Structure 1
Amino acid sequence: MILETAYRWRVALMAIGVGGLATVLRFANLGSPQALVFDEVFYARGAYSLLTLGFEGEWEGEDQAFASGDFSGLTDEGDYVVHPMIGKLLIAVGIQIFGPTPFGWRFMGALLGVVTVVMVAFIARHLLRSTLWGGVAGLLLAVDGEHIVLSRTALLDIFLTFFVVAGFGLLLVDRARTRELLSRADADLTGLGPRTGVRWWRLAAIVTFGLAVSVKWSGLWFAAAFLVLSVIWDWADRRAVGAERWFAGGLVRAVPAFLATLVLLPLTYLASWIPWFRSDGGYGRHWAETHPDEGATWLPDGLNSLLHYHQTAYQFHRTLDSPHNYESNPWLWPLQYRPTAFYFQDVPDADCGAERCVSAIHAVGHPLIWWAAAIVLVYALWRIVARRDLLALTVTVGVLAAWVPWLPYAHRTIFTFYTVAMAPFLVIMLAWGLKRLAQPERLRGSWWPPGAIAVAVFLGAVLVVAGFFAPVWIGDPIPFRYWQLHMWLPTWV
């Protein structure tokens, strides 16, 4: 009776299980450390400035004064920032609710981090057609260190991750609705094939990708990759129902989506700059007025000023090559070869059972998850090339979109924590690989005992290692010697 009830409620139990675990790991002691961790110095203070001034102002004095409640360093001079403001506006929501405290400026990242875990579980459930394997994907993301650390830190990348996962999920809903229309018995399969009408879910996905770009420009790579993937889905689905001219039909139907992207994505992005347009003191807000004969003079002054601002920001990103202790080569990102240390402090007053206690936060992905996924990635690429496996392509595109565009910029100052946007798609791909091991294609869904045992052992090891690494993801005081035991590679120190 209990098993029957659990089976009936399996989807809800799966969502509650992975969501509950994600909540514990992202909200436990969220207000600690009582300091600006890593780049929170830019984004938490920027969010507070948006609430206070309506734009991002420059700060004077000691950086950590903000963390102790001293906000006197905020000036009314516009600060030169090189990222859009949606992420900072979301951080500001938490500050508005809970005040300018560490918990306040980290709240929205933790909340959307938990939501992302649940979304990934449902996306994987849909793709793999299994609540069990959807739960596996959600579990893997719930205990991944890269995602835990970025969810607990007021940086922008967790918001980028949320929006690209949401956009991908909306495209999957669009595909499911479109396949339903294509499969109707009375569908016209001649000529260019059936019409599908206005695809509102795809339009919603485009707007969501616009929000991702409004957090960080790298959202454009995800938008391009996933929207192209949606066209490939259309071709496959039209061919599957026997449409006579499936390729031309899918291509023609892609034209409205392309035009909608050219309109909706820029409009969404521009809307994210409304606080800057409404301000009088935002950096560069009146550049066009003070340079009347420069720039795109055919544009209104506000847009001309914004365009010039973006040109200088792009130049900053393109030429950023200042040496940094934790800069990393993107070719090695899937191996988490050079993770980013966000925080490290001796805690002399802590009772950790040792002479020297430290609090450390390392944005390092769960090593077993990332190293196993690197193997699955090679296998998935082989499946795509050798077998034209559409599911392998679907579970891999997000990983490639988060990784490949960075490879030409290996000379720049970039960091491994950018891979947090890769993590949701990495665990979906890994869950796909584990399913193929436990339920091989040749057995048509039946379990292969050796593979199932191997997967069970792997997942058990993942949980054990997650428990071991949790203190250096959360920043709990631990003995210095215990911290050293977590430095598995020399490049992690």
Structure 2
Amino acid sequence: MKIVSLCHVILAVYAIYVGWEIYIRNNVQLFKSRKSDQQENRLTKSVSKHTELQKQTFTPMKMLTKLIKKDKTAMTVLTLLYAAIALYQLGSFSAPQKDWKPKLAQESFYVDFNHIASINRIMWYGGIGDGDFQIEQSSDTIQWKPVTTISLNGGTIFQWKQSTVSFSAQFVKITVVKPGASLYELAFMSDLQKEPVFITKQIPLNMGNDSMAQAQNLFNEPGTVPHQPSFMNSMYFDEIYQARTAFEHLHSMEPYETTHPPLGKVLISMGIAMFGMNPFGWRIVGTLFGIAMIPLMYLFAKKLFGKSEYGFIAAFLLASDFMHFTQTRIATIDVYGVFFIMMMYYFMYKYYVLSLSRAPLKTALISLSLSGLFFGIGAACKWIDLYAGAGLAVILGLVLYEKYKEYRHTTLLLTTQAKHKSNTSAIRQTQTLAHSFPPLLWKTICTAFVMFALVPVVIYTLSYIPFLRVPGPGHDLSAILSFQKFMYNYHSHLVATHPFASSWWEWPIIRKPIWYYGQVSLSPDQVSSIVAMGNPAIWRPGILAVFAAFYICVKMKEKWMMVVLIGLAAEYVPWVGVPRLTFIYHFFATVPFMILCITYVIKYAHEHLKLRAKWIYIYLGTVLLMFIMFYPVLSGAVINKNYVSHFLKWSSSWTFF
């Protein structure tokens, strides 16, 4: 109470002083101008400081982002080297193209080898549909002995399968037990020769001429029969869903996989249209997108950090990351979602810099529009791009908030200048700044609404054109709306288990990689595997780099880096609350932002902490060494099992065979 009373006394004395100055000495103007001058000086300094900070932060960065000859050379060489590695043994160009799809059970025919043949293996290549075929053998076409039953379903689609058998016979009978499956090729193999045993005749037993004519397709492409089934000639992992659906989109068939939007599968179908329904055809487009991510990362990092060296470091890290390599060589849709996330953030960063460096509004809005365009394309590929869109909204909000602060400062300054009849040119300059905000705000909001709402809806709807072309009822706009509800319910209520499932906190530490493929037809001391995981030299240091990047960003007041950090949070944080089954490949969209954080920390350490270049080279060399060491289990190469067990299996939770 004593302190409060003292404050009251001081205020009372000050009130008497003010009253004396105003009413006795008539010093109203002097009193007001003194206060207003101080306010005007503070506002002027504030606006000047704000403008100067923008110039220091954005103008030099913008000037340094122009590509020079060194950039083009480094970017081209790195991209070509990566492309050579990514395209090597991507998949076979050859696969059976003509099938037999019987409609009736008990249809049968037999083949004649024209001699007694020793059969050790039966190989077949199945297509769409479920069905069973019984195989029998005979030496006289009178007594038939069962050999095996071939079963086809969604899990065996577009894959070479084989059964180990042992019999000698001149005749083999094929009987339809359960119709409905497409069988493309059938081969009887003998260890005495590499090629399938030659068939001289096909004799119908219980089938019409038309069906028999189609059944001849089973043996008309012997050149496509591989020595052993492998990833090179067959689908693996989720290719059986997404590459299959791409084939169905291409031929206006009912799509099998409807838990994701169609555009990613439409992009896969472009490769099938160009190269045929074979492993290379259904994988090539995704791999090309993966290759394109290398120069894109270079450009993004160069624009962020202003120097060619940092552009190369970021692109090199992405090219050496295991997840990027594996996910872009398999015919699934993740690569398209991640590519378009990188594109939308690249252009959003351009908009961020242009807006805060007083570039023409039209130029800034072009970058904003391109960001929205790629957001729409990405969302039509996979819903993870919707998470990225939330981050873009935050960045746009930050830009408008910065503009609003500038508007507020200039409005106050304008009011003060007008009251005291400041210099006319200064008033006009301030008026220009103040009056520019309202139209800027409305033009930006309108552009954002069109490019981030209307255009994506149009793109998303157009991506369903292959579905709308499917003959028959149930392929209209109302069905498209039903699909959206189905997709949401599927992903939000999925209850399932999987031996390679992992939670969000396990991904950065690479606790449980996911085993995509393992070849079974190898000698016991050999292994051929494809595993999705991260490069330990990138992911594990990347955890610390993210926190360090946030600290440095705040300390150095480099607001532009918030674009990267917001992008990372938008793609990773939502998974914390996802209750459904998740896998390590869901971290794929976060990896490019984590790599940019690593590059940012390297930049800070080199420029401010005087980190010597040799330590950066040592780190990059370690990253490359890790890629070379693990390359066999990322690419499906056949290697000695002891190498995998002793050098690559760092944890009991890592499965490679």
* Residues 347 and 367, structure 2, Cα contact 8 Å, conserved in 1: yes
Q: Does 1:316 align with 2:490?
A: yes
Residue 270 of structure 1 and its aligned partner are, at CA, apart by 1.1
Q: Does 1:259 align with 2:445?
A: no
* Residues 245 and 257, structure 2, Cα contact 8 Å, conserved in 1: no
Output the amino acid matched with 1:222: A
Equivalent residues in 2 for 1:257-406 (5 A)? 257-260=447-450, 261-281=452-472, 284-285=474-475, 302-348=476-522, 356-383=525-552, 389-406=558-575
User: Using a 3 Å threshold, how does the CA distance of structure 1 residues 414 and 426 change in structure 2: closer, same or farther?
Assistant: same
Q: Does 1:419 align with 2:587?
A: yes
Q: Does 1:436 align with 2:604?
A: yes
Residue 321 of structure 1 and its aligned partner are, at CA, apart by 2.2
Secondary structure class of the residue paired with 1:478 = strand
Distance 2:408 2:300 in 1: 27
Per the alignment, residue 81 of structure 2 pairs with 21
Distance 2:549 2:286 in 1: 31
Residue 370 of structure 1 and its aligned partner are, at CA, apart by 0.5
Task: Count how many residue pairs are aligned between Structure 1 and Structure 2.
Answer: 424
Task: In structure 2, list runs of 5 or more residues that go unmatched.
Answer: 1-66, 92-230, 412-432
More strand by share: 2
Per the alignment, residue 97 of structure 1 pairs with 274
Equivalent residues in 2 for 1:474-489 (5 A)? 474-484=635-645, 485-489=647-651
Name which of 379, 385, 406 aligns with 1:219: 385
* Residues 437 and 452, structure 1, Cα contact 8 Å, conserved in 2: no
Q: Render the CA deviation track for 1:232-275: whole Å, top value 9, x for unaligned.
A: 24544786899726997675554224422221221221111122
Secondary structure class of the residue paired with 1:244 = helix
Q: Render the CA deviation track for 1:53-107: whole Å, top value 9, x for unaligned.
A: x2444xxxxxxxxxxxxxxxxxxxxx36211111111111111111111111110
Residue 173 of structure 1 and its aligned partner are, at CA, apart by 3.5
User: Using a 3 Å threshold, how does the CA distance of structure 1 residues 265 and 91 change in structure 2: closer, same or farther?
Assistant: same
* Residues 347 and 477, structure 1, Cα contact 8 Å, conserved in 2: no
* Residues 25 and 148, structure 1, Cα contact 8 Å, conserved in 2: no
Output the amino acid matched with 1:420: F
Q: Scaled by the length of structure 2, what TM-score is found? A: 0.60
Per the alignment, residue 394 of structure 2 pairs with 228
Distance 1:230 1:421 in 2: 21
- Report which structure shows greater RCO (CA 8 Å, sep ≥6): 1
Output the amino acid matched with 1:205: S
Residue 381 of structure 1 and its aligned partner are, at CA, apart by 3.0
Q: Does 1:458 align with 2:602?
A: no
Output the amino acid matched with 2:654: W
Q: Does 1:140 align with 2:317?
A: yes
Q: Render the CA deviation track for 1:378-436: whole Å, top value 9, x for unaligned.
A: 11233456665413322222222221111101x31111112221222221121111111
Per the alignment, residue 372 of structure 2 pairs with 206
Q: Scaled by the length of structure 1, what TM-score is found? A: 0.80
Residue 364 of structure 1 and its aligned partner are, at CA, apart by 0.7
* Residues 545 and 594, structure 2, Cα contact 8 Å, conserved in 1: no
Per the alignment, residue 84 of structure 1 pairs with 261
Q: Render the CA deviation track for 1:408-466: whole Å, top value 9, x for unaligned.
A: 01x311111122212222211211111111122x7xxxxx1x44332221111111111
**Which is higher, the Rg of structure 1 or of structure 2?**
2
Secondary structure class of the residue paired with 1:327 = coil
Per the alignment, residue 240 of structure 2 pairs with 41
Residue 202 of structure 1 and its aligned partner are, at CA, apart by 1.5
* Residues 207 and 264, structure 1, Cα contact 8 Å, conserved in 2: yes
Per the alignment, residue 64 of structure 2 pairs with none
Task: In structure 1, list runs of 5 or more residues that go unmatched.
Answer: 1-6, 58-78, 185-194, 286-301, 350-354, 443-447
User: Using a 3 Å threshold, how does the CA distance of structure 1 residues 311 and 357 change in structure 2: closer, same or farther?
Assistant: same
RMSD of equivalent CA atoms: 2.7
Per the alignment, residue 652 of structure 2 pairs with 490
More helix by share: 1
Distance 1:198 1:435 in 2: 27
Output the amino acid matched with 1:274: I
User: Using a 3 Å threshold, how does the CA distance of structure 1 residues 486 and 256 change in structure 2: closer, same or farther?
Assistant: same
Output the amino acid matched with 1:272: S
